[in-house]
Amino acid sequence: MLCWPANRWLRAGKLADVGSVWVAVTGAIAGAGAGAGGAMVLRRLPRGARVPVPVCTVVVALLWAAVGERASEGLPVWWWPVPLVLGWAGVLLAGADLIARRLPDVLTLPAYPVVAVLLGVAAAGAGTTEALARAAAGTLLWAGGYAAVRLVAPGALGGGDVKLAGSLGALTAATSWHGLLLAVLAANMLTAAFAGAARLLGYRDVPHGPAMLAAAWLVVLHPPV
């Protein structure tokens, strides 16, 4: 029979596990609603895209459940909105890029003020503005680098990729310089891998946006250091 302290520890561990499950489930339910609503709105916006509602519903639910799991593991409250918003917008943008082969301005351009607000709230919660300075530099580095590539080789990147790179550069650099570098490298490696597989199947190319968004979302699952 377990002694009292060990028994209390075991019960606390089980309660913690139950709590983390409920946080993940709550995140999944909220994400499902957000994904479905976002997909339906995007269909109706000027220059939007007809992204599949069921797919957006499921994928956003999964991403928000993952954020809920990270939250139960100690992800700071002031950082929660960053992966939640990026997961939601990222699914819509990735869907539009895969289906319509473009990243709608109606999402990429408003992302800049939204990112500024998110990082401002995070900076207030963390009690430091260090991440904001990195974010500003990250915007210039990723977007500037992609703009240079597009200028030299217009067929290598689309204008939407350049617009998206700025906001993603801010979010990933806010976590750390390593986060920015990892996101850029991972995005390009993922696109190269998918492009190689696509050519084997007879497709000419693949959009770059989904890989950028996936890499950035994985990075922002971790708070600034």
Closest CA relative to residue 138, chosen from 109, 175, 185: 175
Higher pLDDT, 148 or 11: 148
- Indicate the SS3 state at residue 225: coil
pLDDT band at 8 (very low <50, low <70, confident <90, very high): very low
Q: Please, are residues 59 and 112 in contact by the beta-carbon 8 Å criterion?
A: no
37: alpha, beta or left, given left = phi > 0 and alpha = psi -120 to 50? alpha
Q: Please, are residues 169 and 178 in contact by the beta-carbon 8 Å criterion?
A: no
Higher pLDDT, 130 or 18: 130
Query: How many residues does this entry show for the chain?
Result: 225
What's the Rg (C-alpha) of the chain?
A: 19
Higher pLDDT, 10 or 145: 145
> 136-151 pLDDT, tens per residue?
999 999 999 999 999 9
Range 102-117 average pLDDT: 96
Q: Which DSSP symbol is given to 101?
A: S
Please give the backbone phi and psi of residue 120, each rounded to the nearest 5 degrees, phi first: -65, -45
Q: What is the pLDDT of residue 29?
A: 96
Up-side HSE of residue 115: CA atoms within 13 Å toward CB? Answer: 28
Q: Please, are residues 61 and 29 in contact by the beta-carbon 8 Å criterion?
A: yes
Q: What is the pLDDT of residue 19?
A: 61
Q: Which amino acid is at 154?
A: P
Up-side HSE of residue 176: CA atoms within 13 Å toward CB? Answer: 9
Up-side HSE of residue 217: CA atoms within 13 Å toward CB? Answer: 24
pLDDT band at 22 (very low <50, low <70, confident <90, very high): confident
Q: Which two tokens stand for residue 127?
A: 């009690």
Q: Which DSSP symbol is given to 78?
A: G
pLDDT band at 9 (very low <50, low <70, confident <90, very high): very low
Closest CA relative to residue 70, chosen from 53, 59, 58, 82: 82
pLDDT at residue 13 is higher than 60: no
Whole-structure pTM value:
0.89
- Give the whole-angstrom CA distance, residue 221 versus residue 205: 29
DSSP 147-170: HHHHHH-TTTS-HHHHHHHHHHHH
Q: What is the pLDDT of residue 1?
A: 40
DSSP 82-149: HHHHHHHHHHHHHHHHHHHSS--HHHHTTHHHHHHHHHHHHHHHHT--HHHHHHHHHHHHHHHHHHHH
Range 194-208 average pLDDT: 79
Q: Please, are residues 160 and 102 in contact by the beta-carbon 8 Å criterion?
A: yes
Q: What is the pLDDT of residue 196?
A: 81
pLDDT band at 20 (very low <50, low <70, confident <90, very high): confident
> 55-66 pLDDT, tens per residue?
999 999 999 999
Q: What is the pLDDT of residue 202?
A: 66
Average pLDDT along the chain = 90
User: Exposure of 37 by Cβ count < 10 A (0-12 exposed, 13-18 middle, 19+ buried)?
Assistant: middle
